[in-house]
Structure 1
Amino acid sequence: MSGTHVVLYDPCGLIEAELPLNRAPHEALVTAILAWKDPDLAPRDYEQIALQLTGHARAVAADVRRHAAALPKADGRGALAVVVLREADGRLSAPLQGAARCVQNRARLVQALYTRLDRLTEPASATA
Structure 2
Amino acid sequence: MNGAHAVLHDPTGLIEAELPLDRAPHEALVTAVLAWKDPDLAPCDYEQIALQLTGHARAVATDIRRLAAALPKSDGRAALAEVVLREADGRLSAPLKDTAGCVQNRARLVRALYTRLDRLTEPAPAAP
Please report the RMSD computed on the Cα atoms of aligned residues, expressed in angstroms: 2.0
Q: For 1:46 and 1:55, locate their aligned partners in 2 and report how far apart those are by CA, in whole Å.
A: 14
Q: For 1:7 and 1:24, locate their aligned partners in 2 and report how far apart those are by CA, in whole Å.
A: 29
Question: What's the % identity of the aligned pairs?
Answer: 84
* TM-score calculated relative to the size of structure 2: 0.92
Q: Could you give the per-residue CA deviations for residues 17-74 of structure 1, whole angstroms, max 9, x where no partner exists?
A: 0111000000000001101111010111000000000000000000000000000000
Q: Which residue of 1 aligns with 2:36?
A: 36
Q: For 2:74 and 2:22, locate their aligned partners in 1 and report how far apart those are by CA, in whole Å.
A: 31
Q: Which residue of 1 aligns with 2:99?
A: 99
Matches within 5 A, 1:11-26: 11-26=11-26
Does the residue aligned with 2:40 lie in a helix, a strand or coil?
coil
Deviating beyond 4 angstroms after TM superposition, the runs of 4 or more aligned structure 1 residues are: 4-7
Matches within 5 A, 1:64-103: 64-103=64-103
CA offset at residue 8 of structure 1? 3.5
Q: Which residue of 1 aligns with 2:109?
A: 109
Q: Which residue of 2 aligns with 1:61?
A: 61
Aligned length: 127
CA offset at residue 13 of structure 1? 1.4
Q: For 1:111 and 1:96, locate their aligned partners in 2 and report how far apart those are by CA, in whole Å.
A: 18
Q: For 2:103 and 2:61, locate their aligned partners in 1 and report how far apart those are by CA, in whole Å.
A: 17
Q: Which residue of 1 aligns with 2:52?
A: 52
The verdict on how the C-alpha distance between 1:6 and 1:42 changes in structure 2, with shifts beyond 3 A counting, is: closer
Q: Which runs of 5+ in 2 are unaligned?
A: none
Q: Which runs of 5+ in 1 are unaligned?
A: none
Q: Partner letter of residue 22 of structure 2?
A: N
